């Protein structure tokens, strides 16, 4: 087995170290050593951790966050006064410098949440935090990054950052039981009144916190107006919205080392076109896509994915290459049982998913498996996580989904860790939840002992297949007898016919999964 430090090298680079691509080259963003990274599985774990850190901040500390969707009344814990507005607003009122960038959002009439995001920003502004609505995106795009950074004026060893898929919004505060967030927002009918929600965020301590903070600062200090739309600018003027970011305090040096882990941040920014550009990402940035492609070239045993979408040919291509080159490679993908939307958009999403999965299954039917999740009551769990673990060595958690939109068109941020112990524990903790092996507390302390039969990645591949088949058979048999343990189910057929597929293809490529690359890169399918 290849050593973790050598895992990302090509065979030529391993044979001749002098040919190794430097970390600062355009092909690789910089790695940062000396970090501690802790996965927080499901929103309740993340929100509790966030609540504890932010409520402990003191005058002179700094709190920075970005959000795709926000609800000021979202409770971070069950305790009274733990809502986002009270926690972040209260921090600013006691002398903490709180800044936020929230995606402005497309109009409510298109199924998004412009009004909710505006109210989110306005309420925090009234409590003293400076929270701006950011629409510096490509047409039809979004700022999808979800990060929080806390820097402590008097003790940099306590500095922390979080990255992942979890917004400060309704539906997210679920736990391993997947009974749903009491502050719910309706999804498609299959998910019921209180939609179960599976997600992941990582907590980072050490020098990489400085790198996460830099991502925020680059966007905050971008001199481009927050929106180019003259109507929105006029409305902002009437509503007296803050559209001019105040200067940030001078950035503190990186925090001291906090652990043994090597961390890399991967990002997506689009090519904005029309003579515009991000000053920190000329022509856009696609290190998320490049990172996945390079890592997939090294995968030999198991690629484990949890994702909201897993769409399209662009996503399938590097998996096809990896499966063809490595006859022992297995791929497991955990997805939502059903899209979260209804109508024509649902059909388009199912078509997009089938484009990728069917291609992989046709190539390697015995080596590719895809599953959904349900809770013990039989309600599907909406999988919103964005996780990938390759060969128990390279592991990423972030905001980016496996689709062309996330790889080229929206802003995204992902945290990669290159470490065998970390990657193995992350994979096994997720497997313990999906196989129904966690105790009532959802503790992950003894995950290696609980999951000893799945430490071998190929054994876990077989365990997933057996668990899903047992639960599928129980449903097919009329649910007679006790419900088998576990949450894994086979995905239902896409139910998109050939005629529908042709009609939906244009909508999918233009609206759901657009291409944000410069034209020359798009033409040669490069990143």
Strands 130-134 and 147-151 come out as: unpaired
For tokens 């080596």, what's the residue?
A: 367
Q: Do 279 and 219 share a domain, yes or no?
A: no
Predicted confidence band at 15 (pLDDT cuts at 50, 70, 90)?
Answer: low
pLDDT at residue 238 tops 50: yes
pLDDT at residue 1 tops 70: no
- How far is CA 191 from its chain centroid? 21
pLDDT at residue 25 tops 60: no
Spell out the long-range contacts of 455-458 with Cβ–Cβ below 8 A and sequence spacing 24 or more: 455/424, 455/428, 457/301, 457/302, 457/304, 457/330, 457/391, 457/392, 457/427, 458/301, 458/302, 458/330
* Distance of alpha carbon 157 from alpha carbon 304, whole angstroms: 33
pLDDT at residue 28 tops 60: no
Please tell me which residue, 506 or 87, carries the higher pLDDT value.
87
Q: Do 185 and 272 share a domain, yes or no?
A: no
Among 200, 255, 197, 258, which Cα is nearest to 414's? 200
Mean pLDDT of 212-238: 93
Strand partners, 66: 101, 147
Predicted confidence band at 445 (pLDDT cuts at 50, 70, 90)?
Answer: low
**pLDDT at res. 384:** 98
Strand partners, 163: 147, 202
Q: Do 471 and 413 share a domain, yes or no?
A: yes
pLDDT at residue 493 tops 50: yes
* Distance of alpha carbon 448 from alpha carbon 455, whole angstroms: 7
- Residue 17 located in a structural domain: no
Contacts of 184 (CB under 8 A, 6+ apart): 170, 171, 193, 194, 195
Q: Do 287 and 206 share a domain, yes or no?
A: no
| Residues 58-84 pLDDT 10s | 999 999 999 999 999 999 999 999 999
- Residue 244 located in a structural domain: no
- Residue 122 located in a structural domain: yes
The chain-wide mean pLDDT, for the chain, equals 92
- Residue 246 located in a structural domain: no
Could you say which of 239, 273, 301 is where a domain stops? 239
Provide the token pair at 3. Answer: 């050593």
CA-derived radius of gyration, the chain: 22
Q: Do 396 and 335 share a domain, yes or no?
A: yes
**pLDDT at res. 2:** 57
pLDDT at residue 17 tops 70: no
| Residues 275-329 pLDDT 10s | 789 999 999 999 999 999 999 999 999 999 999 999 977 889 999 999 999 999 9
* Distance of alpha carbon 523 from alpha carbon 288, whole angstroms: 19
Q: Do 197 and 305 share a domain, yes or no?
A: no
CATH number of the domain bearing residue 399: 3.30.870.10
Provide the token pair at 257. Answer: 């080392």
Strands 200-205 and 31-41 come out as: antiparallel
pTM for the full predicted model: 0.94
Contacts of 207 (CB under 8 A, 6+ apart): 32, 33, 34, 35, 254, 255, 256, 257
Q: Do 427 and 483 share a domain, yes or no?
A: yes
Per residue in 178-212, is it b (16+ CB within 10 Å) or e — as a string? bebbebbbebbebbbebbbbbbbbbbbbbbbbbbb
**pLDDT above 90 coverage of the chain, percent:** 80
Strand partners, 197: 382
**pLDDT at res. 20:** 38
**pLDDT at res. 48:** 98
Q: Do 292 and 203 share a domain, yes or no?
A: no
Q: Do 216 and 265 share a domain, yes or no?
A: no
pLDDT at residue 16 tops 70: no
Mean pLDDT of 147-160: 98
* Distance of alpha carbon 20 from alpha carbon 150, whole angstroms: 35
Predicted confidence band at 27 (pLDDT cuts at 50, 70, 90)?
Answer: very low
Q: Do 280 and 193 share a domain, yes or no?
A: no
Provide the token pair at 48. Answer: 């509790």
Structural domain count of the chain = 2
Could you say which of 239, 270, 303 is where a domain stops? 239
- Residue 26 located in a structural domain: no
Predicted confidence band at 5 (pLDDT cuts at 50, 70, 90)?
Answer: low
Q: Which domain holds residue 360?
A: 261-514
Mean pLDDT of 498-505: 79
Q: Do 135 and 194 share a domain, yes or no?
A: yes
Provide the token pair at 24. Answer: 């600062």
**pLDDT at res. 3:** 63
Predicted confidence band at 347 (pLDDT cuts at 50, 70, 90)?
Answer: confident
Q: Do 400 and 385 contact (CB within 8 A), yes or no?
A: no
pLDDT at residue 224 tops 80: yes
**Residue 302 CA neighbour count, 13 Å, CB half:** 23
pLDDT at residue 23 tops 90: no
- Residue 9 located in a structural domain: no
pLDDT at residue 212 tops 60: yes
* Distance of alpha carbon 272 from alpha carbon 516, whole angstroms: 8
Q: Do 278 and 418 share a domain, yes or no?
A: yes
- Residue 520 located in a structural domain: no
pLDDT at residue 523 tops 70: yes
Q: Do 135 and 107 contact (CB within 8 A), yes or no?
A: no
Mean pLDDT of 390-403: 97
Among 94, 106, 82, 31, which Cα is nearest to 57's? 94
- What backbone phi and psi angles, to 5 degrees, belong to 509? -70, -30
- Residue 128 located in a structural domain: yes
């Amino acid at each position: 087995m290849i050593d973790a430090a050598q895992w990302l090298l090509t065979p030529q680079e391993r044979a001749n170290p002098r040919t190794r691509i430097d970390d600062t080259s355009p092909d690789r963003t910089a790695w940062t050593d000396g970090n501690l990274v802790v996965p927080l599985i499901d929103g309740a774990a993340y929100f509790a951790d966030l609540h504890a850190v932010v409520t402990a901040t003191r005058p002179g500390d700094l709190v920075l966050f970005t959000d795709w969707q926000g609800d000021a009344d979202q409770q971070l814990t069950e305790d009274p006064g733990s809502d986002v507005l009270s926690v972040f607003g209260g921090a600013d009122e006691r002398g903490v410098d709180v800044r936020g960038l929230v995606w402005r959002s497309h109009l409510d009439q298109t199924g998004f949440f412009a009004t909710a995001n505006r109210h989110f920003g306005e309420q925090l502004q009234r409590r003293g935090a400076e929270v701006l609505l950011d629409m510096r995106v490509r047409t039809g795009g979004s700022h999808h990054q979800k990060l929080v950074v806390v820097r402590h004026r008097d003790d940099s060893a306590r500095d922390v950052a979080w990255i992942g898929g979890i917004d400060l919004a309704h539906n997210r505060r679920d736990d391993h039981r997947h009974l749903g967030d009491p502050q719910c927002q309706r999804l498609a009918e299959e998910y019921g009144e209180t939609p179960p929600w599976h997600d992941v965020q990582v907590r980072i301590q050490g020098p990489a916190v400085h790198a996460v903070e830099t991502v925020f600062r680059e966007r905050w200090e971008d001199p481009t107006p927050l929106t180019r739309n003259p109507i929105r600018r006029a409305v902002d003027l009437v509503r007296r919205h803050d559209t001019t970011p105040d200067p940030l305090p001078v950035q503190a040096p990186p925090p001291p080392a906090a652990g043994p882990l090597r961390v890399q941040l991967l990002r997506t920014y689009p090519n904005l076109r029309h003579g515009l550009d991000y000053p920190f990402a000329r022509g856009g940035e696609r290190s998320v896509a490049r990172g996945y492609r390079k890592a997939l070239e090294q995968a030999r045993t198991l690629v484990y994915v949890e994702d909201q979408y897993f769409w399209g040919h662009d996503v399938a291509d590097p998996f096809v290459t990896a499966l063809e080159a490595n006859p022992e490679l297995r791929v497991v993908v955990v997805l939502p049982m059903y899209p979260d939307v209804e109508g024509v958009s649902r059909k388009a999403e199912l078509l997009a998913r089938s484009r990728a999965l069917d291609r992989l299954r046709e190539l390697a039917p015995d080596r590719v498996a895809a599953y959904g999740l349900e809770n013990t009551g039989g309600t599907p769990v909406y999988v919103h996580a964005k996780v990938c673990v390759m060969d128990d060595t390279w592991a990423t958690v972030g905001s980016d989904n496996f689709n062309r939109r996330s790889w080229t068109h929206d802003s995204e941020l992902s945290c990669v860790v290159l470490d065998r112990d970390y990657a193995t524990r992350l994979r096994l903790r997720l497997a313990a939840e999906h196989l129904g092996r966690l105790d009532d507390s959802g503790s992950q302390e003894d995950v290696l002992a609980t999951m000893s039969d799945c430490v071998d990645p190929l054994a876990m591949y077989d365990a997933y297949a057996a668990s899903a088949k047992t639960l599928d058979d129980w449903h097919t048999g009329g649910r007679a007898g006790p419900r088998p343990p576990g949450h894994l189910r086979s995905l239902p057929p896409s139910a998109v016919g050939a005629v529908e597929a042709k009609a939906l293809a244009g909508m999918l490529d233009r609206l759901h999964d657009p291409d944000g690359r410069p034209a020359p890169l798009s033409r040669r399918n490069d990143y």
